[in-house]
A and B are shown apart, each in its own frame.
Chain A
């Protein structure tokens, strides 16, 4: 993305979010060129900083070594501000006056406890957009309930669809409810910023994890809505295709996915397997028979794949037009030939954690991914810039705020 095409250049966002679902939309806005100011407090860091620091991290500064925090807060400025203090709140208000949006994912009562509800922000800046992200929404009987990815998944019906056939439900290891929520919040925030630019009026947006997750199971939900069918978890089921699933290949926890729709694809698979005798079997003679007898068929295919290399097999099958692909683990992604060719991972240096690969925002604007200029801001890294350049404070005031622990760059323990 060259300078000419940075879509959100000139937009400023205050980021009061923690963990993943909240910081994700602001990371996207930062990737797209907005100036995002992540606000923590030395009294209370983003708890995501406590996850995933390697054993090699300096124990005194392990909070700077979280791969999760550093990834989810890329391209953001980082400041500290104690919002429980009068001075902290006043500085925050001065930033609100100079910003387009505030994004937060506290429990619904917290912003009000700080004396910073939407009505107060609007008085400071009528065009401000406040996006509040929560588990269940700002209203309703469950508004104060706490939620994380696993909870959003459970309530939204996602968990009920996740698992092997007739074996109950499993956790969705991606934690999908968090990105579903974050992406929903990103689109809603940009939409409200558009309204504010057109009309000069901001607004309060209420994004709930539960409500953001339900649309993603639209196929299962609409099946219920149209046919009263109660869909449940099934092992890699497809409404049409068979065989369709993941099959073991050579090595430890190596798998290939194969999916067959048309007769031509079936013939190609049989050819590559060298098992024309299976093609001749009556119980596999038609797509419907293969679907009906898919358990037996899957068992046979698994016996065959087990002695093959997943990469080689995928290439062979794809060369014959068969939908086949290896199941990738995280470490394998880093050397994936497609991702190497597109330059998907960007290697970025972090002051403490060193140089590591980070995934690009997966969209090319006029041919290029947005650049990741920096990752996870060290605690209070941009205090000086934000308070002097944006708010015009002088060095003496800065020193006094630090002394009063309104700001700082080391956690208070």
Chain B
């Protein structure tokens, strides 16, 4: 086997970052993922910044290069009768269809029940909002999804604007991975029972599900958990970001034992801070005393010394430092991928190491329509002559 999902066939009809990341899960583990794209312009994900050298182009978008790695590209106009026929043949042999295009999806994939041509097909449908509620047709960027999805209220300082991190993929990829989990669970069932399932999810609810159950917490305690700047005040004054001599470190010490070790390491006298209550009462002073130590050390010194003491602390890496982190280097996490337009570039690797069926080495993202002829002639039974006609008709 070449990867755990070798032999699984996925058809992906996506324009969103979520949809692209959903398909990437399958491609990363060795499934055959066919990305169905618009002729000439392709998936909208190709047009998402950042671009190589800041020059726009269908094969220059960083998110696409990463998220489409290992997929095959077939161009198709699903509004034409021949396009619909091709699509039908594609899904006839697929385990899974991932789509986020709504009304642009071919009618056969929009029928309420499983298509007669493939009753075991699982359909993952990613939307911004669930149908059936007042937000169903709301316009939204990641900001609105993060606002109603419960993330923004947790990031920033109280009294100042709620924010999201400076990375759209941090929110946009979440529903994609949720969809992959749910969709693949349905595939596991379909392979036993022969029956496919409709799998519907929204970015809005996917984000909310992953906010540490703050609503349930409120219901139990009456306490509203909200953003608290550098700290997460509910757990311990020490669960926070500290300043270091050359940047920042994070500390997750929350049990009394961990906090006391941290005090010892930082040389903070127990006097006045001996109990949890005292530490809360004089939290500001307490943090300042610990900070005097952290500010005198580099991030790496703090990180490794604290970890030797089994205090959960970590350095805040900057983006340019990622590829050099010794743990990731040792585990060969990052992978170089060669692409005819982008050249040799480092990609984040596939998380999840399998002892018996490791994920295959990542291959590059496809050029637009790169595999159209290969798929139509080699797999769907069209002749070269017919493919050429379909191209003339702008179907593919």
Other-chain contact of B141, A193, A203, A241 (Cβ < 8 Å): A241
* B82 within 8 Å of A (CB atoms): no
Are B355 and A154 touching (Cβ within 8 A)?
A: no
Other-chain contact of A188, B150, B319, B354 (Cβ < 8 Å): B354
Total count of chain A residues near the partner, CB < 8 A: 161
Report B-chain residues with C-beta under 8 Å of the C-beta of A244.
Answer: 141, 143
Are A207 and B165 touching (Cβ within 8 A)?
A: no
How far does the Cβ of A7 sit from chain B's closest Cβ, in whole Å?
4
Q: Interface majority SS on A: helix, strand, loop or mixed?
A: mixed
Q: Which of B127-171 contact A (CB under 8 A)?
A: 129-130, 132-135, 138-141, 143-148, 150-170
* B4 within 8 Å of A (CB atoms): yes
- Which segment, of B85-93, B176-184, B387-395, faces chain A? B176-184
Are A225 and B346 touching (Cβ within 8 A)?
A: yes
Known interface pairs A68-B212, A237-B166, A363-B199. Does A145 touch B307 (Cβ–Cβ under 8 Å)? Answer: yes
Mark contacts of B173-205 with chain A using CB atoms, 8 A cut-off: 1 yes-contact digit, 0 otherwise.
110011111101111110100010111111011
A346 to B29: give the CA distance in the assembly, Å: 34
Other-chain contact of B161, A51, A217, A246 (Cβ < 8 Å): A246
Are A365 and B197 touching (Cβ within 8 A)?
A: yes
Q: Which of B303-337 contact A (CB under 8 A)?
A: 307, 310-322, 325-328, 330-331, 333
* B43 within 8 Å of A (CB atoms): no
Chain A residue at smallest Cβ distance from B311 = A146
Report B-chain residues with C-beta under 8 Å of the C-beta of A195.
Answer: 1, 4, 356-357
Are A170 and B184 touching (Cβ within 8 A)?
A: no
Mark contacts of B245-276 with chain A using CB atoms, 8 A cut-off: 1 yes-contact digit, 0 otherwise.
00011111011000000000000000000000
* A216 within 8 Å of B (CB atoms): yes
Known interface pairs A171-B241, A226-B50. Does A194 touch B188 (Cβ–Cβ under 8 Å)? Answer: yes
Known interface pairs A339-B133, A359-B215. Does A162 touch B139 (Cβ–Cβ under 8 Å)? Answer: no
* B218 within 8 Å of A (CB atoms): yes
A98 to B318: give the CA distance in the assembly, Å: 46
- Which segment, of B102-110, B226-234, B290-298, B377-385, faces chain A? B226-234
Mark contacts of A184-203 with chain B using CB atoms, 8 A cut-off: 1 yes-contact digit, 0 otherwise.
11111011111101110111
* B361 within 8 Å of A (CB atoms): no
Mark contacts of A114-141 with chain B using CB atoms, 8 A cut-off: 1 yes-contact digit, 0 otherwise.
0000100000000000000000111111
Report A-chain residues with C-beta under 8 Å of the C-beta of B232.
Answer: 150, 171, 173, 175
Are B216 and A357 touching (Cβ within 8 A)?
A: yes
How far does the Cβ of B15 sit from chain A's closest Cβ, in whole Å?
15
Are B352 and A188 touching (Cβ within 8 A)?
A: yes
A265 to B141: give the CA distance in the assembly, Å: 13
A28 to B182: give the CA distance in the assembly, Å: 9
Report A-chain residues with C-beta under 8 Å of the C-beta of B226.
Answer: 173, 253, 329-330
How far does the Cβ of A188 sit from chain B's closest Cβ, in whole Å?
3
* B222 within 8 Å of A (CB atoms): yes
Q: Which of A56-83 contact B (CB under 8 A)?
A: 65, 67-68, 70-72
Other-chain contact of A218, B63, B220, B321 (Cβ < 8 Å): B63
Chain B residue at smallest Cβ distance from A147 = B312
Other-chain contact of A206, B4, B66, B140, B352 (Cβ < 8 Å): B352
Are B317 and A227 touching (Cβ within 8 A)?
A: no
Given A154-B314, A211-B328, A257-B146, 16 other A-B residues pairs in contact with their CB atoms under 8 A? A157-B319, A161-B170, A161-B319, A179-B174, A185-B352, A186-B181, A191-B354, A197-B188, A203-B354, A214-B333, A218-B67, A222-B50, A327-B162, A328-B147, A329-B224, A362-B208
Of the A-B pairs whose beta carbons lie under 8 Å apart in the complex, a sample of 20, sorted by A's number, is A52-B234, A146-B307, A159-B250, A161-B167, A171-B241, A188-B351, A192-B357, A194-B184, A194-B191, A211-B328, A219-B167, A220-B166, A225-B347, A226-B52, A232-B318, A239-B50, A328-B147, A357-B216, A358-B216, A364-B130
